């Protein structure tokens, strides 16, 4: 019973904060609402016994990604509210189609519900083995290559982000190591034959 | 009684909010990126719900990778955004229509 | 041996023409005229040798395919040679006249900038005519036919900076095209019925073709052979300038005078008559076709002769006389007297070439003056030209003893004894024609050479040797050629291996013994007296009382106007037919081509695509959220499809 209570309260908060992300005019408010969404979904994930991912979501997303978002918003100084309406001309149509999509998704879920195993059959997993340990074991055994690739992707993202935003300063005095190494001593000095003057 | 359907329905609602958010906003691209994060959260919800009700850890592994890639995506997207702002002096979606012509 | 020689005779003028055409400009005039004259001379000598060989071996027919040009299914198209008495005699005539014209041109064209071009053209003209004459199948005949047409086009428009010359060559080409269309249709009909283009095959299947009926409408049918013959004759009408298609010939006088001589005497216009003789096995089977030929020929003979009476251009008078004489030849073919027709062709070739070249001599002497009203009294200044012109004129009117006399008399005799439909009409036509011929011929002679010598013509001199020499050379056969040849060619069996015609008794009602006897026999007929009376009238009109013609012209003003306007043929063609067809073409062009094809199909497609893509472009707003909306739409449709699928599977 307590689970249902937690679920419904958190999910209503989640839905509201998600709507707030979309509806706020000020992007800073949107970002803060998104943080709230992440936190509530983290709680809901805890309910599904995905403790590690819930923690990671809050740490990585709220701690890093959302900070990055806020950082960019502040840096670009676009937090001023626009006077015009925040919705464009196709908004009513988009909302209408969005509602259709929700209806369709829910229909599909309920049509297929006969194939789902009911929650009562869920076997409680061993409390000895923590979720983090299980996940770690899986990741470093069966999914080791994927894990490496994920790491590589992150490295790539770092390089890309830097190279995209890097603006080399003009008139910067730098040393070019390769040119220094490849210096040819013969080109350093020019010997000029001077005729003897009488 | 919490069933799989409850979680999936929640995921569907969040997903739709994200989709609508992408389309209806006329402010700036940052909102679109946030909506993308919402979409990812919705998908992750589904994975974790299935993982829990089927007692299969693969779902959580997937979510782990999705989080990784999403973080990378957010970083690159924001970098692009900064570069865009530098060139166009705006990130307003109403003014970014150079795809045309 | 004969094979190699005849190929050589055919090809040598071609080589000469090509050499002169391509190398003439760089190597100079002497090279040009040497190479062409020697090539034509060689061709003439070979032709003479071939004729000599054939004369010594009667019944020798040389018919051989040189190579196979094309083979389609069971049909094969060959290039071949047919050398018989007809071909050999035509070859000699063609090459001899051509040789004379070549020599004459050295002087006549001396100062012309297109000197080498001219020599190249006339050599090629000779080649074209030879290939027409030597053909052994319809395909090659058609090639020669068209090649002659092309060369005549080039030569009539030789002075291409002169607008009238361009118009004249265009006219000649178009009118010939009408005739060629008929010829092509005739050949096609014969080919479809006999399955071959070879003369021998077609001729042997002639009776079979004659039995086939060709239905014009449900009830009206005509023998396929008659139709084919009339179509072939349609081609001859174009080339030999018979009545409705004669209008190009007088205008072809725009070309240089040697060309007039070549076209009128030896090459182009005789092609039609030659073809009639060559097709004699077919024409003999169809009396209706012969009657048609006869009527057209006699109308041409009389009406065009009358036109000669009112012309003031020295060359045009002779041109109309050519038309009239061609009418005579066609008449002879119409009464089945092909040998007489060919004989007249031959004699006519000599004296008409002579007359043209003499006219050209006068023109050169007077520095390109062609209007006979500005001439007169040239007899003393140009004795050689005068003498040769007189010989040519006498031969033309058929004065006893001259070559024209024999040929014309035999021809008229044949008409008199004919039984073909409309032969009486033809007989009176040719008799009046004789009178008219002598009238206009002597009118020309009297006006040009007699009468007072005008002031500005006082210093006129005889032109150079190369112009005078061909006149003398041509006047010899103009007088004498008929004496030894009339017997074998007309009355005997000289052409028996190439022409099908009734026996000479049947045809002429006269037993030939020798030429002198024929001469005295002919004097008993009316022809000679009519011709001499024509001279008398001409003498009266143009020497004794020169005011009479003007009075007559004033008295019979409508008739005079009709003649001056050439029976309004040009008017009819130009203002009615040409206008109708050009307006038809224009409207088809405007409606079909521009409006439908260009506007609707070609540009319409492009415009439609452009407008569609313009509409498609409207979808491309460039806004991200528009694209996202489309993705949403797609997603909803996809999900809807999944649901419908699911429900369908469940039920």
Cβ-based neighbours of A187, under 8 Å, separated by 6 or more:
none
Same domain? For C417 and C497 the reply is yes
Nearest partner of C297 among C282, C276, C311, C267, judged by Cα = C276
CB C111 within 8 A of CB C248: no
Name which residue leads in pLDDT, C569 or C139.
C139
Cβ–Cβ under 8 Å, residues C190 and C223: no
Quote the minimal CA–CA distance from A185 to chain B in Å.
43
Same domain, yes or no, for C221 and C318? yes
Residues of A in contact with C632 (CB under 8 A): 94, 97-98, 101
Q: Which residues of C touch B93 (CB under 8 A)?
A: 623-625
Q: Which residue of C has its CA nearest to A112?
A: C646
Query: B residues 57-96 near A, CB within 8 Å?
Result: 57-58, 60-61, 63-65, 67-76, 78-83, 85-86, 91, 93-94
Please say whether the beta carbons of C17 and C127 come within 8 A. Answer: yes
Q: Domains of chain A: which residue ranges?
A: 1-80, 129-164
- Taking an 8 Å cut-off on Cβ atoms, the answer to whether B28 and A122 are in contact is no
- Full domain range(s) for residue C341: 160-564
User: Percentage of chain C surpassing pLDDT 90?
Assistant: 7
C228 and C372 fall within a common domain: yes
pLDDT tens, per residue, chain A with 198 residues? 788 898 999 999 999 999 998 888 788 888 999 999 999 999 999 888 888 999 999 998 888 888 888 888 888 876 555 555 556 677 888 889 899 999 999 888 888 877 765 544 455 555 567 788 888 888 899 899 999 999 999 999 999 988 888 877 777 787 888 888 888 877 777 778 888 876
Q: Does A61 touch chain B (CB under 8 A)?
A: yes
The total number of structural domains in chain C stands at 3
Q: Which of C328, C259, C296, C284 is nearest to C182 (CA)?
A: C296
Of C623, C629, C632, which has the smallest distance from its Cβ to B93's Cβ? C623
pLDDT at A85: 54
| Partner residue opposite C643 with nearest CB, options A88, A90, A104 | A104
C-chain residues near B8 (CB < 8 A): none
- Token pair belonging to C456: 């500005």
Residue B55 has pLDDT above 90, yes or no: no
Residue C510 has pLDDT above 80, yes or no: no
Residue C61's pLDDT is: 79
Contacts of B61 in chain A (CB under 8 A): 135, 138-139, 143, 146
Q: d(Cα C347, Cα C355) in Å, to the nearest integer?
A: 12
The answer to whether residue B20 neighbours chain A at the CB level (below 8 Å) is yes
Determine whether the interchain pair B22/C625 forms a contact, defined as Cβ–Cβ distance below 8 Å. yes
Q: What is the pLDDT of residues C174-216, one digit of tens each?
A: 888 888 999 999 999 888 888 888 888 888 888 888 887 877 7
Per-residue pLDDT, A80: 58
* pLDDT of C130 strictly over 80: yes
Asked if C644 has any chain A CB less than 8 Å from its own CB, the reply is no
Is C244 part of a structural domain of the chain? yes
pLDDT digits (tens, 9 = 90+) for C526-537: 888 888 888 888
In angstroms, what separates the C-alpha of B16 from chain A's closest C-alpha?
6
* Interface residue ranges in chain B relative to chain C, Cβ cutoff 8 Å: 19, 22-26, 29, 32, 93-94, 96-101
- Owner of token pair 């990604």: A65
More confident residue, C216 or B81: B81
Q: What is the fold, at CATH topology level, of the domain defined by A1-80? A: 1.20.120
Instruction: Report CB contact under 8 Å: A38, B41.
Output: yes
Question: Are C629 and B100 an interchain contact pair (Cβ–Cβ within 8 Å)?
Answer: no
**pLDDT given at position C195:** 84
Q: What is the DSSP code string of C403-430?
A: HHHHHHHHHHHHHHT--STTHHHHHHHH
Closest partner residue to B91 among A78, A87, A109, by Cβ?
A: A78
Instruction: Determine the average pLDDT of the residues in C611-638.
Output: 84
Which has the minimum average pLDDT: A80-84, C131-135, C634-638? A80-84
| C299 plus C419 within the same structural domain | yes
CA C580 vs CA C19, C243, C270, C574: distances in Å? 44, 21, 32, 9
Q: Any chain A CB within 8 A of the CB of C635? A: yes
CB-CB: which of A94, A104, A112 is closest to C639? A104
Q: Band of the pLDDT at B15, cuts 50, 70, 90?
A: very high
Contacts of residue C640 in chain A, CB cutoff 8 Å? 104
- The answer as to whether C438 is a domain residue is yes
Range B35-54 average pLDDT: 90
What is the mean pLDDT of the segment spanning C411-440?
86
Residue C422 pLDDT grade (very low, low, confident, very high; cuts 50, 70, 90): confident
Give the torsion sign (CA, C413, C414, C419, C423): negative
Partner-chain residue, chosen from A4, A38, A135, that has the shortest CB–CB distance to B60: A135
Residues C499 and C605 in one domain: no
Encoded tokens for C299:
């109308």
Quick one: how far is CA C492 from the chain centroid? Answer: 28
Looking at chain A, which residue has its C-alpha nearest residue C646?
Answer: A111
Q: What gap in Å lies between CA C398 and CA B77, rounded to an integer? A: 112
- Answer yes or no: do C560 and C632 share one domain: no
Chains that touch A (3 or more CB pairs under 8 A): B, C
Give how far C601 is from chain A: nearest CA, Å: 40
B26 closest CB neighbour out of A65, A86, A138: A86
Give residue C444's pLDDT: 87
- Taking the CB of residue C628, how many other CB atoms lie within 10 A of it? 21
Beta strands in C55-112, from DSSP E residues, in sequence order: 62-72, 75-83
Instruction: Tell me the backbone φ, ψ of residue C559, rounded to 5 degrees.
Output: -65, -45
Residue C391 and residue C357 in one domain: yes
Strand partners, C313: C371
Which residue in this structure is represented by tokens 């004794």? C544
Q: Is C599 on the interface with B (CB under 8 A)?
A: no
C625 touches chain B (CB under 8 A): yes
| Alpha-carbon gap, residue C339 to C346, rounded angstroms | 10
Q: Are C36 and C17 in contact (CB under 8 A)?
A: yes
**pLDDT, tens only, C25-72:** 788 888 888 888 999 999 999 999 988 888 887 677 788 888 888 888
Q: Which residue from A14, A30, A119 is facing B34, i.e. has the nearest CB?
A: A30
Tens digit of each residue's pLDDT (9 = 90 or more) over C386-399: 889 989 898 888 88
| Residues C39 and C12: beta-carbon distance below 8 Å | yes
Residues in chain C, total: 651
The DSSP string of C447-490 is HHHSSPPPGGGTT-----HHHHHHHHHHHHHHHHTHHHHHIIII
Lowest-pLDDT choice from C93-102, C420-429, C493-502, C506-515: C506-515
Q: Residues C634, C598: one domain?
A: no
Task: Quote the CA–CA distance of C259 and C249 in Å, as a whole number.
Answer: 12
Q: Are residues C340 and C270 in the same domain?
A: yes
Q: Measured between CB atoms, which of C635, C639, C650 is closest to A108?
A: C639
* Cβ separation A104–C633 shorter than 8 A: no
Residue C95 lies in a domain: no
Q: What is the pLDDT of residue B17?
A: 92
What's the confidence (pLDDT) of residue B1? 67
Query: Angle formed by the axes of helices C2-27 and C29-56, to 10°?
Result: 170
Residue C208's CB is within 10 A of a number of other CB atoms, namely 12
User: Pick from C454, C404, C436, C408: which is nearest to C541 by CA?
Assistant: C436
**What residue has token string 């030569």?**
C155
List the single residue in A11, A131, A161 with the smallest CB-CB distance to B79.
Answer: A161
Same domain, C476 and C585: no
Q: What is the pLDDT of residue A78?
A: 66
The answer on pLDDT for C571 being more than 70 is yes
When the pLDDT of each residue in chain C is averaged and rounded to a whole number, the result is: 85
Helix, strand or coil, per DSSP, at residue C63: strand
Of C268, C185, C498, C291, the C-alpha closest to C283 is C291
Contact criterion met (CB below 8 Å) for C39 and C16: yes
Tell me the average pLDDT across C209-231: 81
The answer to whether the Cβ–Cβ distance between C632 and B19 falls below 8 Å is yes
Question: What count of CB pairs under 8 Å joins B to C?
Answer: 32
d(CA C283, CA C287): 7
- C-beta separation of C477 from C307 below 8 A: no
Which residues in chain C are contacts of A94 at CB distance < 8 A? 625, 629, 632
**Entry pTM:** 0.66
Residue B42's pLDDT band, with cuts at 50, 70 and 90, is very high
**Does C110 reside within a domain?**
no
Mutation choice for B interface testing from A72, A80, A86 by most B CBs within 10 A:
A72
Q: C590 CA to chain A: closest CA distance, Å?
A: 50
Contact C421, C540 (CB under 8 A): no
- Using only C-alpha atoms, chain C has a radius of gyration, in whole angstroms, of 31
Instruction: For B89, name the nearest residue in chain A, comparing CA atoms only.
Output: A76
A174 DSSP 8-state letter: -
Domain ranges of chain B: 4-88
CA-based radius of gyration for chain B: 17
| Tokens describing residue C78 | 């060959």
- Residues C219, C247 within the same domain: yes
Quote ipTM for the complex: 0.90
- Is C584 in the same domain as C518? no
φ, ψ of residue C620 in degrees (nearest 5): -90, 90
Q: How far is CA C52 from the centre of its chain?
A: 28
Q: What is the 3-state secondary structure (H, E, C) of C434-445?
A: HHHHHHHHHHHH
Look up residue A144 and give its two tokens. Answer: 């080791």
To the nearest whole percent, how much of chain C has pLDDT over 70?
Answer: 98
- Inter-CA distances, C420 with B7, C10, C424, Å: 115, 38, 9
d(CA C331, CA C336): 9
A189 min Cα distance to partner chain B (Å): 45
Between C579 and A79, the more confident residue is C579
Q: Does C629 touch chain A (CB under 8 A)?
A: yes
Q: What is the mean pLDDT of residues C512-538?
A: 81
Say yes or no for a CB contact (<8 Å) between A97 and C629: yes
**pLDDT tens, residue by residue, C144-159:** 999 998 988 888 888 8
What distance in Å separates the CA atoms of residue C482 and residue C489, rounded to the nearest whole number? 9
Find out whether C372 and C312 touch, Cβ atoms under 8 Å: yes
Which residues of C fall within a CB distance of 8 Å from B24? 625
Contact flag B100-C624 (C-beta cutoff 8 Å): no
The alpha carbon of residue A100 is apart from the nearest alpha carbon of chain C, in Å, by 7
**Nearest CB to A69; choose among B23, B69, B78:** B78
DSSP string, A32-98: HHHHHHHHHHHHHHHHTT-HHHHHHIIIIIIIIIHHHHHHHHHHHT--SPPSS-SB-TTHHHHHHHH
Phi-psi domain of C405 (left: phi exceeds 0; alpha: psi -120 through 50; beta: other): alpha
Q: Is C584 on the interface with A (CB under 8 A)?
A: no
Vertex A174 angle, CA A170 and A180, to 5°: 140
Instruction: Give the architecture (CATH level 2) of B4-88.
Output: Orthogonal Bundle (1.10)
Chain-chain contact of A102 with B30 (C-beta, under 8 angstroms) = no
**Residues of chain C contacting residue A107, judged by C-beta atoms under 8 Å apart:** 643
Which among C457, C475, B14 has a CA at the least distance from the CA of A102? B14
Q: Which of B25, B32, B100 sits opposite C620 (nearest CB)?
A: B100
């Amino acid at each position: 019973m307590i689970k249902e209570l937690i679920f419904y309260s958190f999910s209503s908060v989640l839905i509201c904060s998600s709507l707030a992300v979309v509806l706020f005019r000020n992007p800073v408010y949107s970002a803060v609402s998104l943080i709230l969404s992440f936190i509530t979904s983290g709680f809901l994930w805890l309910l599904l016994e995905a403790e590690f991912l819930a923690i990671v979501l809050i740490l990585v997303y709220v701690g890093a990604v959302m900070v990055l978002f806020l950082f960019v918003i502040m840096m670009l100084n676009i937090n001023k509210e626009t006077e015009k309406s925040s919705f464009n001309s196709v908004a009513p149509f988009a909302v209408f189609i969005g509602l259709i999509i929700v209806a369709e998704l829910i229909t599909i879920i309920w049509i297929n519900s006969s194939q789902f195993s009911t929650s009562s059959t869920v076997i409680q997993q061993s409390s000895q083995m923590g979720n983090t340990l299980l996940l770690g074991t899986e990741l470093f055994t069966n999914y080791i290559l994927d894990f490496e690739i994920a790491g590589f992707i992150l490295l790539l993202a770092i390089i890309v982000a830097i190279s995209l935003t890097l603006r080399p300063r003009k008139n910067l005095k730098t040393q070019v190591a390769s040119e220094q190494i490849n210096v040819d001593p013969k080109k350093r000095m020019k010997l000029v034959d001077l005729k003897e003057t009488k | 009684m919490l069933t799989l359907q409850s979680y999936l329905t929640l995921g569907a609602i969040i997903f739709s909010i994200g989709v609508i958010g992408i389309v209806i906003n006329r402010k700036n691209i940052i909102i679109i990126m946030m909506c993308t994060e919402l979409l990812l959260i919705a998908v992750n919800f589904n994975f974790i719900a299935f993982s829990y009700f089927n007692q299969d850890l693969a779902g959580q592994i997937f979510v782990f990778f999705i989080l990784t890639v999403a973080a990378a995506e957010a970083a690159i997207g924001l970098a692009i955004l900064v570069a865009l702002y530098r060139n166009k002096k705006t990130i307003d979606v109403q003014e970014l229509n150079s795809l045309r012509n | 041996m004969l094979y190699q020689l005849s190929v050589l005779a055919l090809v040598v003028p071609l080589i000469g023409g090509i050499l002169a055409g391509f190398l003439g400009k760089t190597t100079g005039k002497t090279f040009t005229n040497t190479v062409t004259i020697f090539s034509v001379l060689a061709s003439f000598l070979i032709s003479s040798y071939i004729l000599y060989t054939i004369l010594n071996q009667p019944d020798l027919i040389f018919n051989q395919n040189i190579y196979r040009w094309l083979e389609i299914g069971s049909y094969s198209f060959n290039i071949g040679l047919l050398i018989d008495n007809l071909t050999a005699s035509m070859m000699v005539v063609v090459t001899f006249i051509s040789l004379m014209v070549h020599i004459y041109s050295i002087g006549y064209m001396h100062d012309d900038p297109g000197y080498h071009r001219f020599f190249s053209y006339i050599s090629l003209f000779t080649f074209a005519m030879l290939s027409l004459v030597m053909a052994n199948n319809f395909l090659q005949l058609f090639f020669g036919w068209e090649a002659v047409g092309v060369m005549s086009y080039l030569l009539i428009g030789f002075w291409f900076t002169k607008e009238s010359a361009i118009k004249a060559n265009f006219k000649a080409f178009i009118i010939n095209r009408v005739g060629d269309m008929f010829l092509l249709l005739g050949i096609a009909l014969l080919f479809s019925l006999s399955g071959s283009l070879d003369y021998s095959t077609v001729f042997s299947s002639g009776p079979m073709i004659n039995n086939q009926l060709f239905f014009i409408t449900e009830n009206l049918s005509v023998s396929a052979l008659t139709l084919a013959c009339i179509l072939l004759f349609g081609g001859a009408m174009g080339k030999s300038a018979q009545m409705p298609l004669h209008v190009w010939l007088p205008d072809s006088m725009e070309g240089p005078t040697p060309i007039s001589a070549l076209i009128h005497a030896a090459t182009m216009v005789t092609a039609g008559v030659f073809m009639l003789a060559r097709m004699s096995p077919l024409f003999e089977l169809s009396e209706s076709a012969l009657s048609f030929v006869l009527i057209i020929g006699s109308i041409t003979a009389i009406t065009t002769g009358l036109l000669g009476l009112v012309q003031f251009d020295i060359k045009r008078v002779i041109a109309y006389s050519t038309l009239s004489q061609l009418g005579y030849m066609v008449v002879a073919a119409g009464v089945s007297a092909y040998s007489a027709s060919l004989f007249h062709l031959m004699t006519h070739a000599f004296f008409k070439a002579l007359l043209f070249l003499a006219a050209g001599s006068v023109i050169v002497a007077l520095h390109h003056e062609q209007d006979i009203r500005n001439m007169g009294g040239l007899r003393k200044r140009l004795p050689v030209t005068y003498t040769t012109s007189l010989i040519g004129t006498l031969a033309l009117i058929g004065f006893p003893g001259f070559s024209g006399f024999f040929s014309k008399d035999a021809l008229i005799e044949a008409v008199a004894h004919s039984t073909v439909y409309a032969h009486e009409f033809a007989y009176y036509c040719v008799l009046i024609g004789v009178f008219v011929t002598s009238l206009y011929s002597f009118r020309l002679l009297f006006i040009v050479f007699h009468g007072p010598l005008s002031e500005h013509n006082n210093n006129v001199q005889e032109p150079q040797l190369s112009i005078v020499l061909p006149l003398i050379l041509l006047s010899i056969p103009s007088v004498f050629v008929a004496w030894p040849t009339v017997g074998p060619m007309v009355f005997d069996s000289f052409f028996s291996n190439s022409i099908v015609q009734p026996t000479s008794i049947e045809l002429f009602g006269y037993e030939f013994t020798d030429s002198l006897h024929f001469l005295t026999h002919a004097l008993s007929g009316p022809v000679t007296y009519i011709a001499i009376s024509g001279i008398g009238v001409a003498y009266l009109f143009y020497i004794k009382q020169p005011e009479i013609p003007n009075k007559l012209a004033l008295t019979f003003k409508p008739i005079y106007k009709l003649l001056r306007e050439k029976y309004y043929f040009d008017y009819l063609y130009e203002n009615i037919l040409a206008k109708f067809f050009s307006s038809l073409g224009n409207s088809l062009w405007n409606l079909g081509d521009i409006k439908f094809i260009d506007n609707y199909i070609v540009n319409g497609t492009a415009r439609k695509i452009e407008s569609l893509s313009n509409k498609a472009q409207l979808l491309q707003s460039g806004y991200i959220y528009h694209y996202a909306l489309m993705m949403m739409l797609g997603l909803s449709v996809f999900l809807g499809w999944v649901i419908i699928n699911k429900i369908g599977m469940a039920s």
